[in-house]
């Protein structure tokens, strides 16, 4: 598969590396090198990062915080992660733009679809922060939405697991990995790929998803080369 434009979704937790909290600079540097290698091939890249390594809105709601307030705090956490990745990319010579759904003029641009596409066409990596700008929507939903808006060829969901399994491989050693699966099968088997809003957006817009292990250096490049790693949902 020759990808011209992709949307990479990273979880906030993945930025922790082996830490319990926050940002592991070595992990962010590894991600930046992997992204640079793919970018140097001429592939246009948009990125969405979660904020779970800093703040999780759902967890805060369970402890009594107002859900809307907690979700906005989570959006700000994604901006901190986005700035860390932007810094790592620019240190190794990759031109970037950070665009957010909440206005923060001193540190980033507001998200405007046409401008985002123009940045991509000018060979800049575009990082989308602050989710969709709305409470009750996850960064998975933001990734699906931005991918559709910029007309990406695929959503690449980089996780710490190397694909979608019949069960949680960290709990069930007999779980087996799917190489390819349909959207309907994921629904029927209640497999946890993305939240349902994000997943349905991809299905309705015929946007394929590949779930793969981003923590293994070189995997991002292998995916874009068409190697059969991870799980393709189509």
Can you tell me the distance from the alpha carbon of 184 to that of 144, in angstroms, rounded to the nearest whole number? 17
Q: What residue ranges do the domains of the chain occupy?
A: 5-233
Burial of 171 (0-12, 13-18, 19+ CB in 10 A): exposed
Q: What letter does residue 213 receive in the DSSP assignment?
A: E
Q: What is the CATH number of domain 5-233?
A: 3.40.1160.10
Outline where 53-160 has alpha helix (H): 57-62, 67-91, 113-121, 139-149
The DSSP bridge pattern shows strands 154-159 and 5-10 to be parallel
Ordered per-residue pLDDT tens for the chain, 234 residues: 689 999 999 999 999 988 888 999 999 999 999 999 999 999 999 999 999 999 877 778 788 899 999 999 999 999 999 999 999 999 999 999 999 999 999 999 999 999 999 999 999 999 999 999 999 999 999 999 999 999 999 999 998 888 999 888 778 888 899 999 999 999 898 888 888 999 999 999 999 999 999 999 999 999 999 998 999 999
Q: What is the number of other CB atoms lying within 10 angstroms of the CB of residue 200?
A: 15
Can you tell me the distance from the alpha carbon of 59 to that of 28, in angstroms, rounded to the nearest whole number? 24
Q: Mind giving me the DSSP string for 126-138?
A: EEEESTTSSTT--
């Amino acid at each position: 598969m020759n990808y011209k434009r992709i949307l990479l979704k990273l979880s906030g937790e993945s930025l922790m590396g082996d830490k319990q909290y926050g940002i592991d600079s070595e992990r962010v540097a590894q991600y930046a090198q992997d992204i640079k290698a793919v970018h140097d091939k001429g592939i246009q890249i948009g990125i969405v990062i979660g904020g779970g390594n800093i703040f999780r809105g759902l967890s805060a709601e369970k402890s009594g915080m107002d859900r809307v307030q907690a979700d906005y705090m989570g959006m700000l956490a994604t901006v901190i992660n986005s700035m860390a990745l932007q810094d790592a990319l620019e240190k190794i010579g990759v031109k970037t733009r950070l665009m957010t759904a909440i206005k923060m003029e001193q540190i980033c641009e507001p998200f405007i679809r046409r401008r985002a596409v123009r940045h991509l066409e000018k060979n800049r990596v575009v990082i989308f922060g602050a989710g969709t700008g709305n409470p009750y929507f996850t960064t998975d939903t933001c990734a699906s939405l931005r991918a559709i808006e910029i007309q990406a060829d695929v959503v690449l969901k980089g996780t710490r697991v190397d694909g979608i399994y019949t069960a949680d491989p960290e709990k069930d050693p007999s779980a087996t990995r799917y190489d390819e699966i349909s959207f309907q099968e994921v629904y029927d088997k209640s497999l946890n790929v993305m939240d349902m809003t994000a997943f349905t957006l991809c299905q309705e817009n015929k946007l394929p998803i590949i779930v793969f292990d981003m923590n293994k250096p070189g995997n991002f490049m292998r995916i874009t080369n068409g190697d059969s790693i991870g799980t393709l949902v189509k």
